[in-house]
Structure 1
Amino acid sequence: MPTPKRREAETNPRRPVKAPETRKEAYQAYRERLDRQRGRGTATSKALRGVPQDEARYYRPADFGPARAFARDYVDSRRTASEFFLPFSILVILVLFFTPPGVQFGVAYGVWPLMMLTIIVEGVFTGRKVKRLAVERFPDDDLLRGIGMYAAMRQLQFRRLRLPKPKVKVGNRPELGGR
């Protein structure tokens, strides 16, 4: 749709939205806005299929869809070095503070870059594999864009702090994850 001419835009100004006066009105307006966003025919409503209704309100828009659920299950079914990045980083900082200069040099120029390289390589391989498998399994899903980065970022988080919560135990296959 083309941008309206200035004359047309001035003849049809936007009306100011009246702010709710009570908490009840604010909550009602919020629920109506959510219902409109999740209405029929939108990408979000298509993606909500398969998500239990009581859980749907806790999902971010980036978490919707069967392909994203597969990516989460794939990452959650494996143990990786990336999920230990934060504790390792804290350990490296402590070593840099409390050790002699020779050890600091070895950690700063040897161990730390090796860990960073490991995380990057692991993220690239995981992202590519998840994207390839998701395209094979969900060819008609319109939410496949960015699924590799989604999986790589989820892989960096502590398992216990991942949202939505992991539904697949480590070692189980993603197909058998209960979805």
Structure 2
Amino acid sequence: MFRRTREEVATPPEDLDTRPTGKGRPTPSRKEAEAARKAAAKPPRTRREQAAAQRGAKGESSARVRQGMRNGEEKYLLPRDKGPVRRFIRDFVDARFSFIELIIPLLVVTMILGYSGNSGLASFGNALLFGSILLVVLDMLLLRYRLRRQLAARFPDQTLKGTTYYAVTRAMQMKFMRLPKPKVKIGQELPEHYR
């Protein structure tokens, strides 16, 4: 009924992709592959080569651990950072604006005012510094109160020992220096479950 000739069968349809596939390099011979494997597995002959190999392996390992800590991977975190409660605390602290972030610029302003030579400006700088410290203390107390309420609602079966200290120490760091890196933006809504 519908028979095709040999030429029709042998020629591929024009709409198929005819790009070459493969790895883009020739396969190494067995001899080359074994030589490369032996060179990689060859033990160092001198103490200097051994120390260099250990430094290289240690450097790769520590770089992998640092990257894992920055990304917040659970297996690379320190024991104080592990668990869903600590992850929630990190996100809670990172999602709120804190007055502590304004302390560094205020310290610079008060130093400039203090060295200006004008006693009126110096006293204003001191008042500004003490006022900002008072604001930071009030902000930390508010952080503790709100965090405790959220933890009691989200993790009723967990102990709250050490959570305030962990939250305050994280909040005292500048946002770009925090480890693990913040995963939420300021004002972002946090998920309901952290299991």
Q: Which residue of 1 aligns with 2:143?
A: 126
- Which residue pairs with 1:59 in the alignment? 77
Partner residue, 1:82: 100
Aligned in 2, Cα 1:117/1:174: closer, same or farther, shift over 3 Å? same
Identity value in percent: 29
What residue is the counterpart of 2:189 in the other structure? Answer: 173
Deviation of 1:60 after TM superposition, in Å, equals 2.3
Instruction: Name the count of aligned residue pairs.
Output: 134
CA distance in 2, matches of 1:54, 1:83: 22
User: Is contact 1:85–1:156 with CA below 8 Å preserved after alignment?
Assistant: no
Aligned-partner Cα distance in 1 for 2:79–2:167: 15
TM-fit CA distance, 1:58:
4.0
- Once the two structures are TM-superposed, the CA of residue 57 in structure 1 deviates from its matched residue by 4.9
Give, in angstroms, the shift of residue 159 of structure 1: 1.2
- In the alignment, what sits opposite 2:32? none
Deviation at 1:126, TM superposition (A): 0.2
**Which residue identity does 2:189 align to in structure 1?**
R
1:74 aligned counterpart, secondary structure: helix
The offset of 1:134, in angstroms, is 0.9
Find the aligned partners of 2:164 and 2:170 in 1 and give their Cα distance: 10
1:17-166 aligned within 5 A: 24=54, 55-108=73-126, 110-142=127-159, 144-166=160-182
Going from structure 1 to structure 2, the CA distance change for 1:178 and 1:61 (only over 3 Å counts) comes to closer
Q: Which has the larger radius of gyration?
A: 2
Please give the alpha-carbon distance, in whole angstroms, between the structure 2 residues aligned to 1:178 and 1:89. 37
CA distance in 1 between counterparts of 2:183 and 2:96 reads: 12
> What SS class does the counterpart of residue 175 from structure 1 fall into?
coil
Which whole-Å CA distance do the structure 2 matches of 1:152 and 1:168 have between them? 17
Shift of 1:56: 3.1
Give distance in 1, aligned partners of 2:95 and 2:135.
19
CA offset digits 1:112-135 (Å, max 9, x no partner): 111010000100110121122112
TM-score by length of 2: 0.58
